[in-house]
Structure 1
Amino acid sequence: MLPSAELHLHLEGTLEPSTILELAERNRVRLPYADVDELAARYEFADLQAFLDLYYANMATLRTAQDFADMTDAYLTRAAAAGVVHAEVFVDPQAHTSRGVALSEVLDGVGTALAAAPSVHGISTGLIPCVLRDHSAADAMAMLDGVLRSGAPVLGLGLDSAEVGHPPSAFTEVFDRAGAEGLHRVAHAGEEGPPSYVWEALDLLGAERIDHGVRSLEDGDLVARLVRQRTPLTVCPLSNLRLRVVDDLAEHPLPEMMRRGLVVTVNSDDPAYFGGYLDDNMAALRGSCGIDDDAAEVLARNSVEAAFLDDARKRELLARIDAAVTGARPRN
């Protein structure tokens, strides 16, 4: 596995069944499943909403800053083993404050683990709080205000949750505010929602990256724009399979996206729910989609180029990819 950046990762989606049960016991949260096997049996999803129902229910086990720190550190440990050298991770503050957890608990816990990541795991990081698109724009603005007042070192603002029926255009003012505050902007679009959502994310939200974006291929003009502007798409193959965006990984559009010149990166999204971390996603692509060493190198380089990093750190990480590729070549 080549050194890579992970740019589409929901921290709450890294809660493994065993961790959920441990947190439930720690915080005296009663869950509707008795053991790991019963919980794991629920990890079959008909669509995005079916996943979100379980995803939000399991968040009830997260209560304290220590819970959020432990969750984040567990992800970083696994990510380092997967070859991740830089991670820009999502968190959903509204999903926690709406159930009575203070914003400070979320940001302090996650922030503590991320601050230690370079020394403990060898991973540089950035935090991107996300707007829940199935909540109101006023609620989103209140969340952003709270994040900004906290002084937490956040990298940007994202848009996630149930896509269909919740277009990016509803959150234009929130993302304008984020841009005015110097935050990067990214948005989930073109997963279950139509290509028009990708256009809105670009034109109305100022999105610098599109999370998922697999349905962009349905619109030739959109593809041409994404190629021309080199807008990165943070694609999550195993997520797409488990949420039935594709029925078979062999039919995943990623190879076609690469052939058409799109700047594609591979990510794990919610790995505890979708069957794999970054290395698992790459292994699955190699086995099902014909991704070879050359394509894997392109994907790794794309991930670093698409990261919100300064030029010096990008050069450092690209040099590590060069060294890994050179070391993997057979000697004559």
Structure 2
Amino acid sequence: MLNEQLRQTIEQMPKAELHIHIEGSLEPELIFALAQRNGVTLAYPSVEALRQAYAFTDLQSFLDIYYAGASVLLHEQDFYDMTAAYLKRAAADNVRHAEIFFDPQTHTARGVPFETVINGIWRACQEGPISASLIMCFLRHLSEEEALATLDEALPYRDKFIGVGLDSSEVGHPPEKFARVFERARQLGLRLVAHAGEEGSPAYIESALDVLNVERIDHGVRCLESPELVERLVRERMALTVCPLSNIKLRVFDVMGSHNLRTLLDKGLAATVNSDDPAYFGGYMNANFVAAFEALPLDASHARQLARNSFEAAFLGPEQKRAFLAEVDTFFGAH
């Protein structure tokens, strides 16, 4: 059982969230409200029935329901409302800065204009209670041609997002598939991240580094299967955006007690804690920290390390980064 003092420390400490899919923050209540507002018929009779459907066996079973939930997002205000709700939750968890993934292809495939998607999300970030920036993700189950077309479509809005990522079903869609679009993004000066080593093997992490030239690995928990890769990740100070509750919900680990977060930290890896798709996986930032700290032998020194790692790995300017890290040190100095 987590002692009260440690619980308060992890809940109150300043932190950054670097792995959050904004469509995955869409709570059933908001899905139903938007469905009603937009005249969309859902396959579930009630909020409760939808919530009960959130029992996933693997990544694909989650993605099926995730895309169904996104069907209620049609207008700029819908994207604004979803993002504003997330930012409010994040602020309540003492998240100071968030780097938010969004999936334009999920929406443009349904006939929703790219402009509608990004403008709603971006406007909420400008008006939100915390610092936030956007990372546009390509859906890896689709073709690289479609990813390149999405990048072209995004260029008029280049000032509204800082980087690109790669998400959706990992197995069978290795990083190599997206070499050209990532090279193009790099030439445009965009920051690069990719999901790798969640369901995919360590080879996926290596390809994300060598072929895509990513600056951060999303998930990455399977890196421990390759000691050479671990050495490299430590040497390159390559951050891993770990999502504990997601890893349990999608059966990457059976129970939180068998999660490798503590081992990652012990080996000197720049692990961070994040919520991934909080509406679907059972909790936002603090819920992820609490679940991990309740099940694993983690203490206040690990909490401080995780908080520092999150800001060190963030795509922030040097001054902003220094200010946030100073806030972490001040907080732990007082606790």
TM-score, with structure 1 as normaliser: 0.97
Mapped to 2, the partners of 1:153 and 1:62 lie a distance apart of: 20
Once the two structures are superposed, what CA deviation does each residue of 1:228-276 show, in whole Å capped at 9, x if it has no partner? 0000000000000000000010000111111111100000000000001
Quick check: 1:129–1:158 contact (8 Å CA) kept in 2?
yes
Specify the alignment match of 2:279 in structure 1.
Answer: 272
Question: Deviation digits for residues 109-144 of structure 1, max 9, x if unmatched?
Answer: 001011112xxx1x1111001000000000000101
State the alpha-carbon separation in 2 of the partners of residues 6 and 217 from structure 1. 23
- Counterpart code for 1:210: I
Indicate which of 229, 239, 246 corresponds to 2:246: 239
Q: Which position in structure 1 is the counterpart of 2:143?
A: 136
1:53-72 mapped onto 2 (5 Å cutoff): 53-72=64-83
- Partner Cα distance (1:38, 1:314) in 2: 43
| Alpha carbons 1:111, 1:152 under 8 Å: kept | no
Does residue 46 in structure 1 map to residue 63 in structure 2?
Answer: no
Query: How many residues in Structure 1 have an aligned counterpart in Structure 2?
Result: 324
Q: 1:127 aligns with which of 116, 130, 134?
A: 134
Q: Give the aligned residue type for 2:36.
A: E
Task: Tell me which of 14, 17, 26 is aligned to 1:15.
Answer: 26
Q: Which residue in 1 is equivalent to 2:118?
A: 107
Structure 1 residue 152, shift from structure 2 partner = 4.0
Tell me which residue corresponds to 1:35: 46
Per the alignment, residue 220 of structure 2 pairs with: 213
Q: Quote how far apart the aligned CAs of 1:175 are.
A: 0.2
Supply the distance in 1 between the matched residues of 2:282 and 2:210 (Cα, whole angstroms).
34
Whole-angstrom distance in 2 between the partners of 1:317 and 1:236: 22
Q: Which amino acid aligns with 1:185?
A: L
**Does residue 196 of structure 1 match 2:203?**
yes
Q: Does 1:149 align with 2:156?
A: yes
Structure 2 counterpart SS, 1:61: coil
* Paired residue secondary structure (2:271): strand
Aligned mates of 1:53, 1:151 — CA distance in 2: 30
In structure 1, the partner of 2:298 is 291
Report the Cα distance in structure 2 between the residues aligned to 1:198 and 1:251, rounded to whole angstroms: 21
Deviation string, structure 1 residues 274-298 (Cα, Å, up to 9, x no partner)? 0011100111111001221110000
Q: Deviations over 1:67-109 (max 9, x none)?
A: 0000000000000001100000000000000010000000100
Q: Which residue number in structure 1 is paired with residue 233 of structure 2?
A: 226
Q: CA deviation at 1:153?
A: 1.8
Choose 224-233 or 152-161, whichever is displaced more: 152-161
- Contact (CA 8 Å) 1:8, 1:88: kept in 2 or not? yes
Indicate conservation of the 8 Å contact 1:107/1:152, yes or no.
no
Deviation at 1:154, TM superposition (A): 0.7
Q: Which runs of 4+ in 1 moved over 4 A?
A: none
2:255 corresponds in structure 1 to: 248
Q: For structure 1, which runs of at least 5 residues remain unmatched after alignment?
A: none
Quick one: which amino acid aligns to residue 315 of structure 1?
R
Distance in 1 (CA, whole Å) between partners of 2:105 and 2:47 is 27
What 5-or-longer segments of structure 2 have no aligned partner? 1-10
SS state at 2:100 partner: strand
SS at match of 1:7: strand
Q: Name the amino acid aligned to 2:20.
A: L
Shift of 1:151: 3.7
Within the candidate set 327, 330, 333, 1:323 is matched to 330
> C-alpha offsets along residues 137-183 of structure 1, whole Å, 9 cap, x if unaligned?
00000101111123442110000000010001000000000000000
The 1-side partners of 2:113 and 2:298 are apart by 44
**Aligned sequence identity (%):** 53
Secondary structure, counterpart of 1:46 in structure 2: coil
Q: Please, what TM-score do these two structures have when normalized by structure 2?
A: 0.96
